[in-house]
Each structure stands twice: as C-alpha cells, then as structure tokens.
Amino acid sequence: MSRITVFMSAICHMVGYLEEEEEEEEKKKKEEEKKKKKEKKKKKRKMKKKKRKKKKKKRKKKKKKKIKMKKEKKKKRTRRERIRKYVSYYCIYECYLADDTKTMSSPSVCCPPVAAARDSLRLALNRSLSEPATSTSQSSPSPSSSSSPAAKRFKLESVSLPASPCTESATLQRALVMKRVCGLSADALVSKLERCLVVDCRPFLAYNVNHIRGSINVNCCDRFNRRRLQQGKATLADLATTREGKELLRRRVFKEVVVYDDATDDVDLLSPSHPLFLVLTTLVDDNRQPALLLEKGQEEVVVEEEEEEEEEEEEENAFVGNIRTRLKMHHVIECRKEEEERGRRQTKKKKKL
C-alpha cells in the first residue's frame, strides 16, 4: 500500500507541475499578444504621422508653386506693359525724326560744316506730348538767321495723341443706360408697388430710420463696395443687407426695378462713380427691363394738420420731408415703430408663458 500511495502522490505532483507549466505558457502567450498589439498601434501612429508630414509637404509645395506662378504672371504683365510703353515712345520718336528730316532736307536750313559748331545745336524738348502740332513755318528758320551758328537750333514738333478707347466705351455705356432707364412718378409707383421691386441706395442708417414699404437696401455708398460693383466682383444680391432682399435679387422674379436715394431727379446729372448710376448700370447689364428711376412726382400728401406741426415733423425727419413730394405717407414706414411693436409682442408672449 505504501508503494501505491507514493506512486499516486508522485502522479499528483506531476499533474500539478504540468498544470502550472500550462498556465505559465498561457500567461506568456497573453503577454506576447499584448506586446504585438502595442507594436501594431505604435506602427499605425508612426504611419499616420508620416502621412501627415507628407500631406504638409505637398501643401507647402503647392503653395510655393502658386506663389511662383503669381510672381511669374506679375513679371510677364510688367514686361508687357514696359514693352507697350517702349513701343509707344519709339513710335513717337520716329514721328519726331521724320519731322526733323523734313526740316533738314528743306533748302532754307544749312547745316554747319565744322564739327566744333555742333555744340550750339540743342533740342527743345520742353513741350508736352498732348499739345497740338505747330506749323512747319514756325519751326523752319529763315535763311538770314541760319547763317549765324548760335541761331541754328532745331525744335521737335509735338504730336497730338488720339483719345483712349476707355473714354469711348464709358460714353457708350452711359448712352445705353440713358436709353434703358426711364422716369417714374409717384402715382405710377403707387399702382406698381406690388408688381415691381424697389431698391434703396442710401446708407443703412438712413434706411433704418425710415424707408418705403417693401424696399431693399443695397450697401453701395462705401468706396470699397462701389469699386467692387464697377469691376464686376460683386452683384446687387451680395450687397443687399437682408436675406429676403438677397433672395429676391437672385431669383429675378421682378423685371421692373425702381431705384431711389435721398434726392436725385435726373440721370443726366449723375457722375459715373455715383452709387445710383452704378446700380442702374448693373441692372441694365442683368437685362432688367426696364430699370426705373424714381422721379419727383405730384404732391400727394393731404395736409390736415397745422403749419407749425408740419415744420416740427420736417425737422425731425428730413427724409420724410423729401419723400412727401414723391409718395403718399402711408407708403413710408418707420423702423423705430416696428421695433417698438415687436418688443411689445415679445413682452406679451413672455407674460403668457
């Protein structure tokens, strides 16, 4: 029995030892798996960092290329401009030389035979290029005066340059705007308020104080916005101050457009840099048929108050005094009253809640 017990105990020890070894192997496997996972994560991070660096390098290269392209374009433009200037100067110089050859070939002028007398020759270049050409009779010296070496001075005749094409295009554009734009009285505007779109070209502060009902304010009084309109970089929808106005101008629902500001009666008196004229030109370019200008119509205000009260109202609201000669008073709306009504409505809603 003792041998059997010893044998059984030995077997138990062996089994326990084997189990411990298996557990240790499992632990080692788990640790190895964890290490592999960590290494994989590190590799992924490194790959991501490398990709980011590559993207940054590509972006920098693209930016450098763009900057180089811009610089090259600027250089080309400057070269072209210089070449044009040199060509124009060369043409003018050739004209001067042709005039000089004519005066030299004439029998009235005798050239000095001695080289030392050439010091007395001087070219009078004090004249401007835009002056009209003088007659050859004035420039050609008389034979009596040509004998003396001090009087032998040759003058270059100035050439009158032609008008630039920019002025011609501006005049054509102005004539086209004058044809397309027509005046509108207050009576006609009252009947067309629902069928046409009204554009306010005044600054936003004046528009916020009072304006015509349903009008859209266009911020084109600044120098920056005027330049953008002239160059075609911005549209009227971009310069509108409200979302509704931008949507209406982009949809092009209304063909008839009425434009107004503080006090303008004639389109002829407007300068090409005036905001109202710029708005009209943009409307004509957009094929709005027609772009209508608000004129001073008949006085349609029914005066029921005394003269003293009218004077006080005119002092308070200068624009309302100007607009009375154009439209009825019920078509003028004050934004201050609208804001007060909105505030009252909001307070009532809060009390109910």
At residue 100 the predicted structure's pLDDT band, cuts being 50, 70 and 90, is: low
pTM for this predicted structure:
0.41
320 pLDDT higher than 60: no
Retrieve residue 7's tokens: 């044998």
Average pLDDT score over the chain: 70
Task: Tell how strand 210-212 and strand 216-217 pair up.
Answer: unpaired
CB 208, CB 222: distance < 8 Å = no
Q: Is 28's pLDDT higher than 80? A: yes
Task: State which H helix or E strand residue 230 sits in.
Answer: helix 223-231
Cα 342 from Cα 186, distance rounded (Å): 30
Q: Is the pLDDT of residue 103 over 60?
A: no
Model confidence at 217, pLDDT cuts 50, 70, 90, reads very high
Q: Do residues 206 and 262 touch, judged by C-beta distance below 8 A?
A: yes
The pLDDT value given to residue 152: 43
On whether the CB atoms of residues 186 and 326 are closer than 8 A, the answer is yes
Residue type (1 letter), 48 = K
Name the token pair of 113.
Answer: 């035979």
CATH superfamily, domain at 181-293: Rhodanese-like domain (3.40.250.10)
Residue 52 has pLDDT above 60, yes or no: yes
Greater confidence (330 vs 311) lies with: 311
- Using an 8 Å Cβ cutoff, are 298 and 186 in contact? yes
Query: Worst-scoring range by mean pLDDT, 157-171, 187-201, 213-227?
Result: 157-171
Q: Where are the domains of the chain?
A: 181-293
**pLDDT category, 218, cuts 50, 70, 90?**
very high
- Report whether 168 contacts 186 (CB < 8 A): no
d(CA 240, CA 220) in angstroms, rounded, equals 9
